[in-house]
């Protein structure tokens, strides 16, 4: 309710980072079969409503979605129509594969399509899904125009590499970023760029805290291409158990305790996973254990940490 009231009173206010919960609900799993470590099917309609209702009851205040997540926006829109208070919604502009002259119209159309699917007049956040698109002619001006028109609260970018974030931070008006981070992937934390985001007032969402779920898989379910990380996972499990927490709690702490990370975008396949993650949040270890975990997890080759470079499932 508070979020809705604030937005109604200040239609052009920046993204309300103070309203974020430590976990933001990722939604690609709601719109399409997902996962290169293990493939899950989207929940059915009742299952989806159960997950979203449970997430709201637990205090989650933001959903991360995208035009490219199958029918996730439409399914979320169906649920949003009947739910109050409404969470913050961040969606993403699909990759721009058209000529420069058509970009402003294209952005306008994509934004309208997302808003219509979600049944909203305004998105709280709108991210460029493919980071280099941010630098194409007319993109920033179109996004700023959408902010001024009250169609989006803030714009930003989803990145895979620290250099993409460094480039994005030079763009005026950037309000949000989503970046990959996990116990095994500390590139952004080590780069100093997350602190720079905080200094510039850019809200940082981290995703892939569980490396598409691979970090939580039992050893005998790890796909072949991820077998090289098995010894590291085993040592991390040992550390978690010595520290009186589970690997999930350690994985959450490994990212959420990074100064400047406002919220972790976590995807789930069902209500049980949501409950487990919320419970894990309550027993996160402190910084000393996280430091030990980071030392154990350092040095994993980057190709093992980037799901885009993993072989297709099956
Ligand atoms: N901007 C981008 O380019 C981009 C790219 C990818 C994702 N995203 C966003 O980020 C969100 C998160 O996706 P991600 O790829 O980063 O994945 P993630 O959050 O690292 O892992 C999610 C997967 O972990 C597994 N999981 C979650 N909780 C679990 C539990 N308690 N026990 C066991 N397994 C559990 C589930 O898969 P299983 O149960 O099948 O193992 C789930 O699909 C997505 O929903 C999407 O919103 C954005």
- pLDDT per position as a tens digit, 133-164: 999 999 999 999 999 999 999 999 999 999 99
- In which band, very low, low, confident or very high, does the pLDDT at 307 lie, cut at 50, 70 and 90? confident
Return the closest-CA partner of residue 256 out of 156, 183, 159.
183
Do you find a cis peptide bond into 85, omega within 30 degrees of 0?
yes
**Of 101-105, 172-176, 217-221, minimum mean pLDDT range:** 217-221
* Closest approach atom of ligand 1 to CA 213: 24
pLDDT above 70 for 249: yes
- In which band, very low, low, confident or very high, does the pLDDT at 7 lie, cut at 50, 70 and 90? very low
- The confidence score (pLDDT) of residue 11 equals 46
pLDDT above 70 for 171: yes
Kindly report the protein residue whose alpha carbon is nearest to atom 44 of ligand 1.
26
- Site of tokens 């975990």: 293
Using one digit for the tens of pLDDT, what is the confidence trace for 20-64?
999 999 999 999 988 767 778 899 999 999 999 999 999 999 999
DSSP type of residue 70: T
- In which band, very low, low, confident or very high, does the pLDDT at 12 lie, cut at 50, 70 and 90? low
- The confidence score (pLDDT) of residue 313 equals 59
What's the gap in Å between 141 CA and the centre of ligand 1? 32
Work out the average pLDDT over 247-270. Answer: 96
- The confidence score (pLDDT) of residue 8 equals 45
Using one digit for the tens of pLDDT, what is the confidence trace for 58-100?
999 999 999 999 999 999 999 999 999 999 999 999 999 999 9
What's the gap in Å between 242 CA and the centre of ligand 1? 26
What's the gap in Å between 268 CA and the centre of ligand 1? 6
- In which band, very low, low, confident or very high, does the pLDDT at 3 lie, cut at 50, 70 and 90? very low
Contacts of 197 (CB under 8 A, 6+ apart): 165, 169, 177, 203, 204, 260
Q: Which CATH number fits domain 2-218+259-270: 3.20.20.100, 2.60.40.10, 3.40.630.10, 3.40.50.300?
A: 3.20.20.100
DSSP type of residue 15: P
276 lines ligand 1 (CB under 6 A): yes
- Average predicted confidence (pLDDT) for the chain: 93
- The confidence score (pLDDT) of residue 5 equals 43
* Beta partners for residue 91, in sequence order: 126
């Amino acid at each position: 309710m508070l979020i809705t009231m604030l937005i109604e009173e200040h239609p052009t206010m920046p993204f309300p980072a103070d309203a974020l919960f430590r976990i933001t609900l990722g939604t690609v799993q709601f719109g399409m079969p997902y996962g290169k470590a293990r493939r899950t099917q989207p929940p059915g309609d009742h299952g989806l409503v159960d997950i979203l209702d449970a997430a709201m009851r637990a205090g989650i205040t933001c959903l991360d979605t995208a035009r490219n997540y199958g029918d996730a926006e439409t399914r979320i829109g169906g649920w949003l129509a009947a739910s109050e208070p409404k969470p913050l919604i961040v969606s993403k502009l699909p990759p721009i594969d058209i000529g420069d002259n058509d970009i402003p119209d294209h952005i306008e159309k994509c934004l309208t399509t997302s808003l219509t699917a979600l049944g909203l007049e305004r998105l709280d956040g709108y991210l460029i899904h493919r980071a280099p698109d941010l630098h194409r002619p007319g993109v920033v001006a179109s996004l700023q125009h959408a902010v001024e028109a009250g169609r989006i609260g803030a714009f930003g970018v989803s990145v895979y590499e620290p250099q993409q974030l460094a480039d994005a931070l030079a763009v005026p008006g950037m309000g949000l970023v989503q970046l990959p981070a996990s116990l095994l992937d500390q590139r952004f934390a080590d780069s100093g760029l997350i602190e720079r985001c905080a200094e510039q007032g850019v809200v940082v969402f981290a995703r892939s805290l569980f490396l598409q779920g691979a970090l939580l898989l039992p050893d005998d379910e790890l796909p072949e291409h991820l077998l090289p990380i098995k010894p590291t996972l085993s040592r991390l499990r040992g550390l978690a158990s010595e520290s009186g927490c589970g690997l999930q709690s350690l994985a959450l702490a490994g990212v959420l305790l990074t100064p400047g990370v406002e919220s972790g975008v976590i995807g789930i396949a069902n209500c049980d996973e949501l409950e487990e993650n919320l419970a894990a949040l309550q027993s996160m270890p402190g910084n000393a254990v996280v430091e030990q975990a980071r030392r154990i997890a350092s040095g994993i080759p980057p190709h093992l940490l980037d799901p885009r470079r993993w072989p297709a499932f099956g």
